[in-house]
């Protein structure tokens, strides 16, 4: 059963800005990563789902209800983390959570308190004095504390340090295990690959892909920077056929592999390796790798 459904959604801001004929859906219990570079249209899509914007064309619905006309009913079952958090600056963190809890008629605060502890959030200070990361943690607690069935999270890890990013990933996996349906946007493939089942890639307002994460991972090219003990070792290694591409520069080799790395790792074990590093593909690399620069590859689900 599809919980979030977007059909031919269009918001044209002019000058090729906005979103164009977007169609995709998120099934019950699925974690959907909504990936795209700055200005791609992620927030615009999410703002339609929240009922904040009227589309030029198309529709969006959550739990079978139209996002524009039924936003009040949808909100009762929704947790939302905005990209830019505008809180009531004069309140303390706890006053804000209590205020939001009252709006949602939250009686049992056990889960709220567990989240506060999990994210090591000090709720006693005034929001205006909080750092970006602290505000983000407050936003996360507020989005999840009432145990909503559906979560929409706009760049949830922005401002979080690596430890808190890990805590956040654990939270998503725990919520997924409870059967929650989650859509979250991000700039970074690496960030969402641990938690998402499926990924939609948006570029210049067009959905260029919506794929199972395992398929994307298998197709993804990985680059390894290997330092051998000698130039001769690097040259000898380059003669093997356990990679797609290699560039040798003295003792160093840049090795590119598509998919399974096991034969590369196996071959490497016969050499003396002084250093091994990985180079992550940028989002743009991933786009180019999968789809080139063609817009004809666009497809919808
Ligand atoms: N109200 C508006 N009027 C005109 N242009 C807008 C408006 N809102 C957004 N845009 C433009 O639409 C495009 C998509 O913006 P959007 O905020 O949806 O991107 P995004 O993918 O969320 O980017 P980011 O990762 O930077 O948050 C951008 O070029 C943006 O400048």
DSSP 108-128: --HHHHHHHHHTT---SSBGG
Q: Hey, which of 14, 17, 153 would you mutate to test ligand 1's pocket, going by the most ligand atoms within 8 Å of its Cβ?
A: 17
Indicate the pTM of the whole model.
Answer: 0.84
pLDDT computed for residue 236 by the predictor: 96
End-to-end CA gap in the chain: 14
DSSP state letter for 186 = E
pLDDT computed for residue 271 by the predictor: 96
d(CA 285, CA 221): 9
Task: List strands edge to edge, sheet with 2-14.
Answer: 17-27, 2-14, 57-62, 65-66
d(CA 140, CA 87): 13
* Burial (CB count within 10 angstroms: exposed 0-12, middle 13-18, buried 19+), residue 296: exposed
d(CA 254, CA 238): 10
Q: Please state whether beta strands 198-203 and 206-212 pair in parallel, antiparallel, or not at all (unpaired).
A: antiparallel
Cβ 200 under 6 angstroms from ligand 1: no
* Contact between residue 219 and residue 258 where contact means Cβ atoms under 8 Å apart: yes
Query: Residue 135 has which token pair?
Result: 């505000």
The dihedral over CA atoms of 234, 237, 239, 241, expressed in degrees to the nearest 10, equals -140
pLDDT computed for residue 154 by the predictor: 96
Phi-psi region of 159 (alpha: psi -120 to 50; beta: other; left: phi over 0): left
Assign 19 to helix, strand or coil: strand
Assign 215 to helix, strand or coil: helix
DSSP state letter for 282 = P
The Å distance, Cα 83 to ligand 1 centre, comes to 12
Bridge partners, residue 57, by sequence: 10
Cβ 18 under 6 angstroms from ligand 1: yes
pLDDT computed for residue 299 by the predictor: 37
Assign 243 to helix, strand or coil: coil
d(CA 301, CA 297): 13
The dihedral over CA atoms of 216, 217, 223, 224, expressed in degrees to the nearest 10, equals 180
- Atom 2 of ligand 1, residue of closest alpha carbon: 13
The Å distance, Cα 41 to ligand 1 centre, comes to 6
Average pLDDT per 10 consecutive residues for the chain, totaling 301 residues: 96 94 96 91 96 96 96 94 85 95 92 97 94 95 96 94 94 96 89 89 88 80 92 95 92 89 93 91 64 45 35
Cβ 204 under 6 angstroms from ligand 1: no
d(CA 188, CA 36): 8
Atom of ligand 1 lying closest to residue 46 CA: 18
């Amino acid at each position: 059963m599809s919980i979030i459904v977007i059909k031919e959604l269009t918001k044209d801001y002019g000058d090729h800005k906005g979103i164009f004929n977007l169609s995709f859906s998120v099934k019950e219990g699925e974690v959907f990563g909504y990936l795209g570079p700055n200005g791609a249209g992620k927030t615009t899509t999410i703002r339609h789902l929240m009922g904040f914007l009227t589309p030029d064309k198309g529709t969006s619905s959550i739990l079978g209800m139209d996002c524009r006309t039924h936003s009040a009913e949808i909100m009762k079952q929704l947790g939302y983390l905005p990209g830019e958090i505008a809180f009531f600056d004069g309140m303390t963190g706890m006053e804000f959570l209590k205020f939001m809890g009252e709006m949602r008629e939250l009686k049992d605060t056990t889960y709220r308190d567990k989240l506060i502890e999990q994210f090591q959030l000090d709720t006693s200070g005034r929001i205006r004095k909080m750092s970006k990361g602290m505000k983000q943690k407050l936003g996360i607690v507020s989005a999840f504390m009432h145990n909503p069935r559906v979560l929409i999270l706009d760049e949830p890890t922005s401002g979080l340090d690596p430890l808190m990013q890990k805590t956040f990933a654990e939270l998503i996996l725990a919520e997924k295990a409870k059967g929650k349906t989650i859509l979250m946007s991000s700039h970074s493939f690496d960030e969402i690959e641990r938690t998402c089942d499926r990924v939609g890639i948006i570029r210049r307002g067009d959905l260029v892909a919506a794929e199972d994460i395992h398929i994307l991972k298998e197709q993804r090219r990985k680059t390894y920077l290997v330092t051998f003990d000698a130039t001769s070792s690097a040259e000898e290694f380059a003669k093997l056929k356990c990679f797609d591409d290699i560039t040798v520069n003295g003792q160093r080799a840049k090795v590119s592999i598509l998919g399974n790395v096991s034969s590369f790792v196996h071959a490497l074990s016969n050499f003396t390796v002084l250093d091994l590093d990985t180079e992550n593909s940028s989002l743009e690399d991933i786009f180019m790798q999968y789809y080139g620069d063609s817009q004809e590859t666009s497809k919808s689900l």
